Structure formats: C-alpha cells, structure tokens
A and B are shown apart, each in its own frame.
Chain A
C-alpha cells in the first residue's frame, strides 16, 4: 500500500499521532455491544473479527479510531489489530458506498459472463475496481467465488445473492440502488445499507420483520436434483432463465 486510510502518503519522518477516540456517547454504546460480543467466546481475542465488523457498522469502514477502539476493549495494541484488519478483504480501508456491489470474476462466473458484467458496470457507473460513485451510493469491486456457482454469473450486493445476472440486469439493479428504489436479491432479504449489514456480521441478528424468511426456502437450482429424484421433469435444455420465468417454472410443483 502506498497510502494509509487517511489518504496521506507513507511518511518516513514523524509517526502519526494516535487516532482520536469515538465521541463519548458512541463509545458507550459500542462498549455495550462489544461486551455482548466478547461474552460469546471463552477468550476475548476471538471477538476481534466481529468487533471489526461492529466498527464497520458504525463508520462503514475500519478507521484508525475503530482500530483503537478494538485494541482498547480487547487489551491489544493497535498494531495487532491493524495486522488482522488488513488481512481480511471484507474490512474496508476507506470510506465507501452504502451498497457494496461485488461481481464474481473467479473462473466459472467470469467465463459465464462475470467479466462482461464487471466491465459494463465499470463503464456504466464510471468507476474502477474498489471505487465509489460520487454520490456515495455504490462501491464496485470484483470478488472471488461466493459459493453460488450453480447460479452463475453471480453478483453480490451487501453480501446478498443476485443470481443468474446479465449486464442488463446488473445495470438496472445499480440504477435502482442509486435512485433509492427498494432492491431485493434473488436469495436473501431486501437490501439494507452496508453499515446495517455489518451489524449482522458482528453477530446481531437482523431484527427486520420478514428478513429471515425473505426469498423462500431454496433457490431453483438448489432444488433441481430433488425434483428429478421425485420423477418430475424440471425445465431443462436451456441455460438462460430470464428473471421471473425461472422461478415460475420451478415453483409450480409446490
């Protein structure tokens, strides 16, 4: 890295001053949350990954203040916390968008169209990899395999599944995000913001009505073997399932 999260270059002279603390009320609220997280583990350090998610729930990325907070509540040094925070790709190093749009460009999704989707989204949004639209809504990145290869090509938004995407469907989806229209994934709950998602990742269940049951039991591809085993004939021989049509075709047996 050539720049630290505050945008300053790597300085070889004076060390950075310690990061400021959170305001007292924020600090008190986060400490109460942290206490709950730490209580889940026999050893407090195990709470570090969830606590880093928790600081992202507050600020949308892991700031130096967030690192300081984690270090103080766990009795670690900021260097120890930074070493962990920079190892994992889900921790953002700079302020980013409300919606993290990740296009899978690992081999299978890339070949099935992920590369084309990623290229068209870059052009459509006018941003590069890991960059955010000027309105602060969408951060675009390419991601690695997200365990949904039978739904390729896959796009993740705030880590909810958007299956069987095309460049057109993906562009329409980001347009909706930017316009503030509600967006629902193929599998998962209607989108909340990146910060709200980070709070779930810190281990605090999603309290929204209907979030757990949203999008139903299993997606169509997950059910194909089951349907064949029952002697049903799923619609086969075509690869492209325009959205809506596929679910109608596979749900009729229910």
Chain B
C-alpha cells in the first residue's frame, strides 16, 4: 500500500513528537557544557543527590523507564539488583557499542548531546554506589569519541566528576574506552570480557553481571539512551515521564527512520507511535514508491511489511505483532529491493560477526550464507528453502547468546512473508531485481 503524506485525525505532527534528548541538537555548539546548562543541564543530578540512593532507585523504577538497547528491561530494576554493603567495588558500564544493523540513535545522541549521558551516569553511580564508570564506545566513530573526551574533561573541570561532587561527598571517575570493531561486544557479557582486555565472547549466565560483572564485581550495564533519559526524569518528574507513551512502555524515545524514505533521520516521540504516523509527517516513502518491508528495531528483529504500518511501536505492541521493538531502527525498503539480497547481506554480517564460541551460531551462520548466496545467484533448489528454515531453527534459541537468535530472525520472517520471492530466484534461475533502481540516486538519473 502507498503511504501518503496526508495527516490523520490524530492531529498535527508536532503534537506526535516529543523532543527531549534531541531538544537542542540544532544549537550551534549543542555538545558543550555551556549549552547543556542553558537547557537545565545537571538539574536532574541536583535533585537526585537530594534523595537517598535507595529512594533514587525506587524513583527510577516507578518511572517505568525500560532499557533502550533492545531488550526493554526496567532500568531501575537493574540498579536494584546490585547487592549493597557487600564490600566489593561496584561498576557502571555504558554500552555505547551501537552496531546493530540499522541502529543509529546513540551515535548522533552522543555527538550532539554527550552531557546527557554523563549526567545520567553520575546519577546512576550515586544510586548503585559506584565510584568508577566506563563508557564502552565502539571504536569506529572517532567524531563521537572526541566529543566524549571533551565532555568528560568539561565535567571534571566543573566539579561534576572527581572528588566530592557538588559538595555531596560523592566520588566518581569516568573512563572513556574505545572498542576495536566487533558487533558481539554489544552483548553485555561479551562487552565486559572485551573491557577486561579479552576477546569479546559472551559469558555463561548466571552469574549475571549484577552479581559478577566487570572484574567479577557487581556491575550495571546500561544502554546510552537509557542512561541519558534519566536526568530528564529526575528534573521533570516521573509523572511527566509517565504521561508520555503507554502504561507498560512509558516515556519518550528516539526512532531512527532510514532507507527509501523521503525524510530519513531521528524522530524523538512518545513510545507507541506508529510507522504510518512517522511516515505521514516526514513525507512518506520516496516519491513514486511504496513500502515493501521494514525492521522495527534493527536487522535482528523479525521484519514487517506494509500490513504492519499501524502497529504501535512500543515493547508490547511490536511483540504482539510477532517482532521486537529492539533499537527502534526503522529501516524501510521499497518495492525495488530484493528481499533475498537483503537477507543474504544481513546473514553474511552475522556469519562475519559470530564470535565462534558456540557451534550452532558459528556453523549455522556459515551454512546459511552458502545457501543464500546460491539462491540469490539463481543456483538454488526448492529444498534449500526448508533447509534454510531448519538451520535457522537450529540456531534460534540454541546459541550461547542473542546473536544467534538475531541471525535467525530475518530468515524466518522473510520466508514467512516473501517465500514466493525466494521461489522466483530458484525457478527463474536468478535475481529478478535491478539493484540500480534501489540506489539513492536512481530516480534522479531517470528524471535528470
């Protein structure tokens, strides 16, 4: 179906959006402490320090904030799991290893507004009683690394980090740590191994990081956006936060629209907005084309089609429709895109990024790639399709970590919605699509 630019009865687009973290990204020097202060920066921290740590944890829990890194686990509950009075150091590790295909929210957030993360980290460390926190940033984003270095420097200079923060007696150091290129390090236990200077391979759980995390000490691992959302909750109140979104998925979040759309970019909105609403306000698909398939939260979340345009994009809504909210990476592909090509490429990615620790994922992703490449090249046979399903089934739920499940998702969902297109590749002995028509410049060449 065609997505039009008409506005629906739910009103003007500006009422559907809620820029909080992105509210001042267009300021000329949005990343500086000076700009952050002008937008009530570090006010949330002052309010947090007026509470006891336990009350603070309860407050964040009551706000209903859920993890923005994909799994949607309640943030306050993660903090509460940290055993107190155990005599061990506690650590906060921020997962800034944003690498899930399609996901592009934390990187622009940190580039334009790094202090929201720093402030959130100080609040979180006060709550869980940690004196040392880490930002594990993927290495391939040097512009963001620069701004994190600068934001941490500014925060030390202003007395938000170091000894006796704001006269509260609180002590905190933040270390910015650049990774070195490995998708698997976005998995929280692999991230911890990597931060300990090892190959990034996931750990057996239990013990969970809350009990034995970094250096076998109690550790909270939170996504960038989760932590960056905390200062606003403290500053404006949990009721303000809960007034947005839905009962079980309260608050605001960043939706990242990409692909064959007229207005790719970041849209900060209350949870529960639909792709139709986002496309309506942003000009829809590129002119003359229609939506074919899309991911609600990155390539590891089962794909959707145009029939899912009205699915509320919150944890429950997307789950009920058979996928996952994930990272809200809305990759939209139009009718010029070959599903087999798309899934083959994602599967090559999973095979490349499989850490090799467990057999189902390491071997399964390898064989999936062999089959898919054959099918895409017109060398497949019909029984390959069931074999794909079988192999994916032997990876899904049987791997050491969620990377395997993620690898299976595009296989299952594409076979479910586009089995005919796979069959066309086999009966027609080749790909019926012209990749030139999918490019960013395809239509301008025609019209020029």
Contact = CB atoms under 8 A, between A and B. Distances in A.
Interface of A: 40-43, 45-50, 52-53, 74, 83-84, 87-91, 102, 105-108, 110-113, 115-116, 143-153, 156, 158-161, 164, 166, 185, 187-189, 197, 200-203, 205-206, 211-213, 215-231, 234, 236-240, 253-254
Interface string B253-281: 00111111011111111000000000001
Contact of A223 (B89, B265, B439): B265
Nearest to B110: A147
Contact of B100 (A43, A145, A220): A145
Contacts of B258: 108, 149-150, 152
14 contacts: A41-B175, A43-B197, A46-B177, A48-B198, A90-B180, A149-B259, A149-B331, A152-B264, A159-B142, A161-B141, A215-B143, A224-B264, A224-B282, A237-B287
Interface stretch (B19-27, B156-164, B377-385, B421-429): B19-27
Contact of A226 (B102, B268, B337, B439): B268
A50 B197 CA distance: 9
A125 to B, nearest CB: 20
Interface in B122-157: 132, 138-143, 145-147, 149-150, 153
A156 B199 contact: no
B265 A106 contact: no
Given A43-B215, A236-B282, A213 B265 contact: no
B125 to A, nearest CB: 15
A149 B329 contact: yes
Given A102-B140, A108-B259, A112-B440, 9 more contacts: A40-B175, A89-B181, A90-B181, A113-B441, A187-B143, A200-B142, A221-B266, A224-B263, A230-B14
A164 B441 CA distance: 10
B178 to A, nearest CB: 5
A144 to B, nearest CB: 6
B16 to A, nearest CB: 8
Given A91-B180, A144-B349, A226 B19 contact: yes
Interface stretch (B53-61, B234-242, B339-347): B339-347
Contact of A231 (B12, B30, B101): B12
B25 A144 contact: no
A149 B30 contact: no
A150 B142 contact: no
Given A49-B194, A239-B260, A218 B30 contact: yes
Contacts of A212: 31, 146-147, 150
Task: For chain B, give the interface size range.
Answer: 35 or more
A222 B142 contact: no
A111 B14 contact: no
B197 A147 contact: no
Shortest beta-carbon contacts, A-B, top 5: A236-B283, A224-B265, A48-B197, A225-B267, A88-B180
Nearest to B261: A239
Nearest to A250: B26
Contact of B183 (A144, A197, A230): A144
A90 B355 CA distance: 15
B145 A150 contact: no
B28 A108 contact: no
A218 B112 contact: yes
A225 B22 contact: yes
Given A105-B345, A152-B440, A49 B179 contact: yes
A236 B256 CA distance: 16
B228 interface: no
Contacts of B432: none
A155 to B, nearest CB: 12
B51 interface: no
B341 A111 contact: yes
Contacts of A240: 440-441, 443-444
B182 A88 contact: yes
Nearest to A227: B26
A152 B259 contact: yes
B244 interface: no
Contacts of A50: 177-178
